[in-house]
Structure 1
Amino acid sequence: MLRGELFSTDMVRAYLEGRKLHTARPIKTQPPEDLQYPYGFITGSTDHREAGKFCWTHEEICDGRTHTVMPKHHPGDFMYCRETWAVSDVYGEGGAFGFDCSYKGGGIVRPCITRDFKRYCEWGKFFDRDGWIPSIHMPREAARLFFRISRVEAMRLDDVTEEFAREDGFTPHDGNSALVWFHVFWQATYGDAQWMWVYWTDPVTKEEALTNAQ
Structure 2
Amino acid sequence: MTAIKERPILFSAPMVRAILDGRKTVTRRPVKPQPEVRMVDMIGPMLTFKNKRGGHWLYPNAKQQIIEDCPFGKPGERLWVRETTEADQDRGDTVALSRYAADRAPVLYAGSEDPEYNGSVAHWDYPRRSRPSIHMPRWASRILLEITDVRVERLQDGEGETAFESRYVAEGINRIHQGDGEYAFHPFKSEPGPGSWTDPFDAWRELWVSVNGADSWNANPWVWVVEFKRVTP
TM-score, normalising length: structure 1: 0.67
CA 6–56 in structure 1, closer or farther in 2 if over 3 Å, else same: farther
CA distance in 2, matches of 1:189, 1:204: 25
Shift of 1:112: 2.8
CA 185–56 in structure 1, closer or farther in 2 if over 3 Å, else same: farther
Structure 2 counterpart SS, 1:158: coil
Shift of 1:125: 3.2
Which runs of 5 or more residues in structure 2 are unaligned? 38-44, 90-95, 115-122, 159-163, 175-184, 187-194
CA distance in 2, matches of 1:56, 1:14: 37
Which amino acid is the alignment partner of residue 145 of structure 1? I
CA 151–202 in structure 1, closer or farther in 2 if over 3 Å, else same: same
Which runs of 5 or more residues in structure 1 are unaligned? 38-48, 50-54, 90-98, 117-122, 207-214
Structure 2 counterpart SS, 1:136: helix
CA distance in 2, matches of 1:29, 1:17: 33
Shift of 1:183: 1.8
CA 124–10 in structure 1, closer or farther in 2 if over 3 Å, else same: closer
Q: 2:101 aligns with which of 79, 101, 104?
A: 104
Runs of 4+, deviation exceeding 6 Å? none
For the pair 1:199 / 2:226, whether they are aligned, the reply is yes
For the pair 1:15 / 2:19, whether they are aligned, the reply is yes
CA 102–156 in structure 1, closer or farther in 2 if over 3 Å, else same: same
Deviations 1:102-140 (A, max 9, x none): 111112241335237xxxxxx7632x532x221111111
For the pair 1:175 / 2:186, whether they are aligned, the reply is no
Q: 1:35 aligns with which of 24, 43, 46?
A: 46
Which amino acid is the alignment partner of residue 8 of structure 2? G
CA distance in 1, matches of 2:109, 2:97: 7
CA 142–66 in structure 1, closer or farther in 2 if over 3 Å, else same: closer
Structure 1 counterpart SS, 2:146: strand
1:139 matched residue in structure 2: 137
Shift of 1:16: 0.8
1:119 matched residue in structure 2: none
CA distance in 2, matches of 1:205, 1:66: 34
Aligned residue pairs, count: 169
Contact 2:154 2:220 (C-alpha < 8 Å) held by counterparts? no
Structure 2 counterpart SS, 1:199: strand
1:186 matched residue in structure 2: 208
* Percentage identity across paired residues of the two chains: 31
TM-score, normalising length: structure 2: 0.62
